C-alpha cells in the first residue's frame, strides 16, 4: 500500500501587494511562510503512521529551502517548472491531483483558486497568507499539518470533513474566459494597471459564490444584501452604482468600511448567468484585475465544480481521542 502523501504549496507573492502600503492588511514575508511550511512538517507527527511530503517549488525558493533544511527523509520537491506566476500553482495542482491525498496551500484567494482549477477532488487545506482573503483560513501551520495528516491517512473520513466550494465562471463574447473562487466582478477601468482594487466605487457589478457581512470586498457587499454560505447552492449577482439612492455599509478593503451603492441584486442558480454589456472595463477575479474588455458582453455565472475544502474544526472534532 502506498504511503499517504501530503502536498504543500506556498505562494511567495501572496500578501505582498499595494494594499499593505495604504491599508491595514497584514504582512506575510517569505521567512514567515517558510516557517509556516516547516510547521506543517511538524504537524504531521500527530499520527503514528508515516506520511510522505511533497513540496511544490516556487520562485521564492520557499518550498525548495524547506525540503533542503529538513532532516526528514520522506520530504521531496515536486518536479515541475517554475515561472513566478499563478501557472506554477496550477501545475502543482495538476501533479498533486494524481499524487497527493491532501494538499496544504499557503496563499490568498487567488492562490487557492489557481490550485482549485487543477486539483480535482483532492482535499484542500487553505491557509491564509494573502491580503484580502475570503476563502482561506488564518491558522497555524502546525495545526494545518496535523489536520492534513488526519485526512491523508484516513484517520478522519475526508468526505465527512470537506465541503464542495462553488466557483464563478466568466465568459467574454470574444471567446476569453476566467474563473474565480469567491468573486468575479466588472471594474470601471480601461486597463489592468495595479491589480488590486482599492476604490469600491470602481465596481460595476459581478457575481459571488458566497456572501457574508464578515467578508471583505464584493462578497461583503453582497453579504449586506443577503446571506449565502459557502456550501449553499448558486450565487449572488449584483449591479453597483455609486449614484444610486440605496447604499449598504460593507468592509471593502482591510481597514476600510464604506457605503456602496447597490442598484440591484438577485440570487442565482448554478449556471444562471448575469450578463454585462461592456463598453470599456476590466474583469476582476477574486479581487484582482485580470482581463481588459472593450465593446463585449461578459456573462458571469456561479458553477458547482469547485474544490473540496477541508473544515479544520470538523477535522479535530472527529479526530480520535486516547
Is the pLDDT at 13 greater than 90, yes or no? no
Is the pLDDT at 14 greater than 90, yes or no? no
Determine the Cα–Cα distance for residues 89 and 105; give it in Å rounded to an integer: 9
The model's confidence at residue 319, banded by pLDDT at 50, 70 and 90, is: very high
> Do residues 104 and 224 share a domain?
no
Tell me the CATH number at 51: 3.40.50
Is the pLDDT at 33 greater than 80, yes or no? yes
> Do residues 134 and 187 share a domain?
no
> Do residues 158 and 188 share a domain?
no
Is the pLDDT at 190 greater than 80, yes or no? no
User: How many domains, the chain?
Assistant: 2
The confidence score (pLDDT) of residue 157 equals 97
Is the pLDDT at 172 greater than 90, yes or no? yes
Percent of the residues in the chain that have a pLDDT greater than 70, as a whole number: 92
The model's confidence at residue 28, banded by pLDDT at 50, 70 and 90, is: low
Determine the Cα–Cα distance for residues 96 and 190; give it in Å rounded to an integer: 37
Among 211-215, 288-292, 294-298, the least confident range: 288-292
The model's confidence at residue 1, banded by pLDDT at 50, 70 and 90, is: low
Tell me the CATH number at 238: 2.60.200
**What are the DSSP calls for 84-136, one per residue?**
SSHHHHHHHHHHHHHH-SEEEEEE-HHHHHHHHHHHTTS-EEEEE-SSS-SSS
Q: What is the mean pLDDT of residues 148-170?
A: 97
> Do residues 177 and 262 share a domain?
yes
> Do residues 287 and 209 share a domain?
yes
Determine the Cα–Cα distance for residues 218 and 259; give it in Å rounded to an integer: 12
The confidence score (pLDDT) of residue 288 equals 87
Is the pLDDT at 195 greater than 70, yes or no? no
Is the pLDDT at 5 greater than 80, yes or no? yes
**Residue-averaged pLDDT of the chain:** 91
> Do residues 125 and 191 share a domain?
no
Q: What is the pLDDT of residues 97-131, one digit of tens each?
A: 999 999 999 999 999 999 999 999 999 999 998 66
The confidence score (pLDDT) of residue 303 equals 97
> Do residues 110 and 181 share a domain?
no
The model's confidence at residue 322, banded by pLDDT at 50, 70 and 90, is: confident
Q: What is the pLDDT of residues 47-88, one digit of tens each?
A: 999 999 999 999 999 999 999 999 999 999 999 999 999 999
> Do residues 253 and 312 share a domain?
no
The confidence score (pLDDT) of residue 240 equals 95
Cα Rg of the chain (Å, integer): 20
> Do residues 143 and 220 share a domain?
no
C-beta separation of 124 from 103 below 8 A: yes
> Do residues 211 and 261 share a domain?
yes
Q: Is 172 exposed, middle or buried (0-12, 13-18, 19+ CB in 10 A)?
A: middle
Is the pLDDT at 176 greater than 90, yes or no? yes
Is the pLDDT at 19 greater than 60, yes or no? no
User: What is the domain extent for residue 65?
Assistant: 5-164+306-318
> Do residues 84 and 97 share a domain?
yes
The confidence score (pLDDT) of residue 202 equals 85
> Do residues 11 and 150 share a domain?
yes
The confidence score (pLDDT) of residue 189 equals 85
Amino acid at each position: 500500500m502506498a504511503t499517504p502523501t501530503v502536498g504543500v504549496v506556498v505562494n511567495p507573492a501572496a500578501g505582498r501587494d499595494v494594499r499593505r502600503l495604504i491599508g491595514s492588511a497584514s504582512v506575510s514575508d517569505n521567512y514567515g511562510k517558510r516557517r509556516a511550511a516547516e510547521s506543517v512538517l511538524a504537524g504531521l507527527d500527530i499520527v503514528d503512521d508515516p506520511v510522505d511530503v511533497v513540496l511544490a517549488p516556487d520562485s521564492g525558493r520557499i518550498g525548495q529551502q524547506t525540503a533542503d533544511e529538513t532532516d526528514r527523509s520522506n520530504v521531496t520537491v515536486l518536479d515541475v517548472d517554475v515561472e513566478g506566476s499563478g501557472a506554477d500553482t496550477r501545475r502543482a495542482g495538476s501533479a498533486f491531483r494524481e499524487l497527493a491525498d491532501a494538499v496544504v496551500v499557503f496563499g490568498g484567494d487567488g492562490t487557492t483558486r489557481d490550485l482549485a482549477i487543477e486539483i480535482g477532488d483532492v482535499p484542500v487545506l487553505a491557509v491564509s497568507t494573502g491580503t484580502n482573503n475570503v476563502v482561506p483560513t488564518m491558522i497555524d501551520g502546525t495545526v494545518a499539518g496535523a489536520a492534513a495528516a488526519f485526512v491523508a491517512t484516513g484517520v478522519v473520513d475526508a468526505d465527512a470533513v470537506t465541503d464542495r466550494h462553488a466557483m464563478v465562471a466568466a465568459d467574454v463574447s470574444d471567446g476569453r474566459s476566467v474563473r474565480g473562487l469567491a468573486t468575479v466582478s466588472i471594474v470601471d477601468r480601461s486597463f489592468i494597471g495595479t491589480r488590486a482594487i482599492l476604490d469600491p466605487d470602481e465596481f460595476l457589478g459581478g457575481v459571488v459564490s458566497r456572501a457574508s457581512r464578515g467578508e471583505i470586498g464584493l462578497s461583503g457587499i453582497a453579504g449586506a444584501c443577503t446571506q449565502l454560505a459557502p456550501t449553499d447552492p448558486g450565487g449572488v449577482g449584483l449591479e453597483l452604482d455609486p449614484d444610486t439612492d440605496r447604499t449598504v455599509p460593507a468592509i471593502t478593503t482591510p481597514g476600510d468600511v464604506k457605503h456602496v451603492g447597490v442598484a440591484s441584486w438577485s440570487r442565482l442558480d448554478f449556471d444562471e448567468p448575469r450578463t454585462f454589456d461592456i463598453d470599456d472595463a476590466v474583469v476582476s477575479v477574486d479581487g484582482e484585475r485580470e482581463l481588459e474588455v472593450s465593446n463585449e458582453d461578459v456573462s458571469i455565472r456561479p458553477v458547482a465544480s469547485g474544490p473540496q475544502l477541508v473544515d479544520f474544526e470538523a477535522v479535530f472534532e472527529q479526530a480520535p481521542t486516547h
